[in-house]
A and B are shown apart, each in its own frame.
Chain A
Amino acid sequence: AQKVTQAQTEISVVEKEDVTLDCVYETRDTTYYLFWYKQPPSGELVFLIRRNSFDEQNEISGRYSWNFQKSTSSFNFTITASQVVDSAVYFCALSGTTGNQFYFGTGTSLTVIP
């Protein structure tokens, strides 16, 4: 089965704290892609990153970093020194090669308290 699990429904942190959002996936495909999207209060989903299954290098972009581990089927997202503008719902998603669907997790709502 193709499935994405984001076990953390809601997280609150104080500004400047680091926070990690968990994402665990299941897939039958040997080649697949993982994504993170941000949905701020305005509602529009914003693409953050795409990672293919052959590339397990961690990625860092400013205060954002992603840790992809095939051994644990996880693709976790860390925000360093969080800011109020990071408050949003974050979705992890999976796409494969045996279909045309994206599989989204249920999202993690992050609140950064000033």
Chain B
Amino acid sequence: GAGVSQSPSNKVTEKGKDVELRCDPISGHTALYWYRQRLGQGLEFLIYFQGNSAPDKSGLPSDRFSAERTGESVSTLTIQRTQQEDSAVYLCASSLGFLAGHTDTQYFGPGTRLTVL
């Protein structure tokens, strides 16, 4: 597609429920990132996928968070047993990947605004 797309754009859920957020990267981009942005805060790295390599999960805040990616396409971020502190905008970005010793420019999706009541 023309850009990174994310769905849903907004999600309201009750505490304790599971949620699944989706990201469609730019076609041809091998790298995919998930970030969390709390209200008025900067970006917090969650997880990174590069091709078929094992993902870098070092930013996931707890074992309630997990993410999957099918090949070099769609990714889903799952939050189990949501808590109120999970309320944030979840941003996905994709890039051409880690090429020639550097990380290429990231292009961001519009984000999913998650509200946990």
Task: Spell out A's residues near B (CB within 8 Å).
Answer: 31-33, 35, 37, 42-47, 50, 52, 91, 95-97, 100-102, 104-107
CB proximity of B102 to chain A, nearest CB, Å: 6
B109: chain A residues at CB < 8 Å are: 44
In the bound assembly, the distance between CA atoms of A105 and B37 in angstroms comes to 12
Q: Is the interface of B mostly helix, strand, loop or mixed?
A: strand
Contact present for A91 and B50 (CB under 8 Å): no
Contact present for B111 and A43 (CB under 8 Å): yes
Q: What's the tally of chain B residues with a CB closer than 8 Å to chain A?
A: 25
Contact present for B56 and A91 (CB under 8 Å): no
- Most-contacted residue by chain A among B31, B33, B98, B103 (CB, 10 A): B103
The chain B residue sitting closest to A9, CB to CB, is B40
Q: Is the interface of A mostly helix, strand, loop or mixed?
A: loop
CB proximity of A53 to chain B, nearest CB, Å: 10
A44: chain B residues at CB < 8 Å are: 108-111
Contact present for B101 and A91 (CB under 8 Å): no
